[in-house]
Structure 1
Amino acid sequence: MKVDVRSLSRFACLTVLGLGLGTGCTSTKVGYADPLKAEPLTTQWEAGDLHQIAETMIDSLLTTPTVVDATTGRTPVLSVGKVKNKTMQHIDTESLTDTIRTRLLRSRRFQFVDRTTDDQVAEEFRVQQESGLVDPQKAVPVGQQYGAEYLLTANLSEIANTDGRTQDVFYKFTMNLRNLRTGLIEWAEEKELRKVSTRRRFGF
């Protein structure tokens, strides 16, 4: 059987060209975008929602007269509790907590204690005090840490409704600042977000 080498060469070239065109049609362009200007893609909780919430809470907290008075000439110790997720979604509330704490820390109006790492701290104290591995003269003494004067707590809830092709999701984020000495709530704020999604009819 005689094989036409030129025909095979043309076939190979066309195949490679076809693969190249196919790859070009399905290529994906990836780039960086400003997280503060993220456009909503779904009715689910997204990065842009986090930044809106954090900005509103921090601006309100730092400008309320009670907090301004409490932070004038001193930096009170604050503990930030984990955000309670009352939605039906799996939301990384720790990320929201971290964002709020970081921005407040940058304001230099508060000092912070982090109760989320207490287990690790307790283990470190155990090693220093009981293991015999650390020089007693250089070990950190127990019982001298600062106690929080204020506790910042928060809740995130949602109400979702679906009507035909439209999905309507309402989010509410509430935050409270409690004075641990008096037990009084000295500041409270809430931020509401509503996200609506409408599915297009096929062909339109």
Structure 2
Amino acid sequence: MKKALVLTSAFAACLALQGCGPKAFTNGEYNDPNKVELLDDKFNEADMQQMADKIVNTMLKCPDIVESRGRPTIAVSKVQNRTEEYPDLDSLTEMIRTNLTKARKVRFVDRGSRAEIDEEVAYGTTGRQSRESAKKHGKQIGVDYLLTGALATNVQQVANDKLIYYKLTMNLTNTDTSVIDCTEEVQVRKKFRKKSLGLF
């Protein structure tokens, strides 16, 4: 009897712990990625989309791009993170690159795949590929511009009010002259207010 009582008490304690523990997300649904929902005060996809759209529009109107013969070739460099957060800046540059590529005004060089491409070209010299299809060195396209940038932030908080300011700066730097031929700055400002936690 005593043993049964102990087991019952232990089972009840387990149920109590489960009830007080973190709840799992068991129900979900698809949501519109273009709908802005601020669930917290962190850098989010809505900020990223606003910034990418403005950068792309500016780059496509840049005189050096518009007046260029043919489509200039661009290589994407790392965007500096000058914030205290860990935003996915690779996704930001991918969004910019994708939209610029779709516009058919510029071309991009995939710097991240160069080692693999060299390996594939070297494999073509082993005689395992036909002469007609084997790739050769010396045919890669040179880079006309480097796309560089930096994301900075400033946070101000007074009592329950919090203001978060983001600034993204992106530059197209000419690889022949080191001159910044095109630049744009995007600013995003968000305001949050903490809810008071009452007893009732």
Q: Into which bin does the TM-score normalised by the smaller protein fall?
A: 0.7 to 0.9
Letter matched to residue 97 of structure 1: T
TM-score, structure 1 as length reference: 0.77
SS in structure 2 of the partner of residue 182 of structure 1: coil
| Alignment-derived partner of residue 78 in structure 1 | 74
Identical-pair percentage: 34
Q: For the Cα contact (< 8 Å) 2:172–2:182, is it kept in 1?
A: yes
| Alignment-derived partner of residue 162 in structure 2 | 167
Q: For 1:24-78, what per-residue CA distance to the aligned partner results, in whole angstroms no more than 9, with x for missing partners?
A: xx996533222222222222010111100000111111123332212xx521111
Q: For the Cα contact (< 8 Å) 1:151–1:178, is it kept in 2?
A: yes
User: Which sits farther off after the overlay, 115-124 or 147-156?
Assistant: 115-124
Q: 1:139 aligns with which of 118, 130, 134?
A: 134
* The structure with more radius of gyration: 1
Q: For the Cα contact (< 8 Å) 2:65–2:72, is it kept in 1?
A: no
Mapping 1:51-66, distance limit 5 Å = 51-66=49-64
Matched, 1:121 2:117: yes
Q: 1:197 aligns with which of 177, 181, 192?
A: 192
Cα–Cα, structure 1 residues 136 and 178, in superposed 2: closer, same or farther, change >3 Å? same
User: Which sits farther off after the overlay, 137-146 or 118-127?
Assistant: 118-127
Letter matched to residue 120 of structure 2: E
| In structure 1, C-alpha distance between the alignment counterparts of 2:33 and 2:140, rounded to whole Å | 36
| In structure 2, C-alpha distance between the alignment counterparts of 1:143 and 1:65, rounded to whole Å | 30
| In structure 1, C-alpha distance between the alignment counterparts of 2:64 and 2:159, rounded to whole Å | 47
| In structure 1, C-alpha distance between the alignment counterparts of 2:79 and 2:196, rounded to whole Å | 38
| Alignment-derived partner of residue 7 in structure 1 | none
Cα–Cα, structure 1 residues 150 and 133, in superposed 2: closer, same or farther, change >3 Å? same
SS in structure 2 of the partner of residue 38 of structure 1: coil
| In structure 2, C-alpha distance between the alignment counterparts of 1:50 and 1:136, rounded to whole Å | 46
| In structure 2, C-alpha distance between the alignment counterparts of 1:128 and 1:161, rounded to whole Å | 58
SS in structure 1 of the partner of residue 78 of structure 2: coil
1:116, CA displacement in angstroms? Answer: 1.6
Q: For the Cα contact (< 8 Å) 1:43–1:168, is it kept in 2?
A: no
Letter matched to residue 185 of structure 1: I
Matched, 1:49 2:47: yes
Q: For the Cα contact (< 8 Å) 1:176–1:185, is it kept in 2?
A: yes
Segments of 5+ residues of structure 1 without an aligned counterpart are 1-25
Q: What is the total number of aligned residue pairs between the two structures? A: 176
Segments of 5+ residues of structure 2 without an aligned counterpart are 1-23
| In structure 2, C-alpha distance between the alignment counterparts of 1:67 and 1:136, rounded to whole Å | 37
Mapping 1:93-132, distance limit 5 Å = 93-129=89-125, 131=126
Q: For 1:102-149, what per-residue CA distance to the aligned partner results, in whole angstroms no more than 9, with x for missing partners?
A: 0000000011111122222222233333x5543455321012100111
| In structure 2, C-alpha distance between the alignment counterparts of 1:88 and 1:128, rounded to whole Å | 46
TM-score, structure 2 as length reference: 0.78
| Alignment-derived partner of residue 149 in structure 2 | 154
User: Which sits farther off after the overlay, 138-147 or 49-58?
Assistant: 138-147
Measured on the aligned residues, the alpha-carbon RMSD in Å equals 2.2
Q: For the Cα contact (< 8 Å) 1:84–1:155, is it kept in 2?
A: yes
Q: For 1:144-190, what per-residue CA distance to the aligned partner results, in whole angstroms no more than 9, with x for missing partners?
A: 10011111111111122333323322111000011112221111110
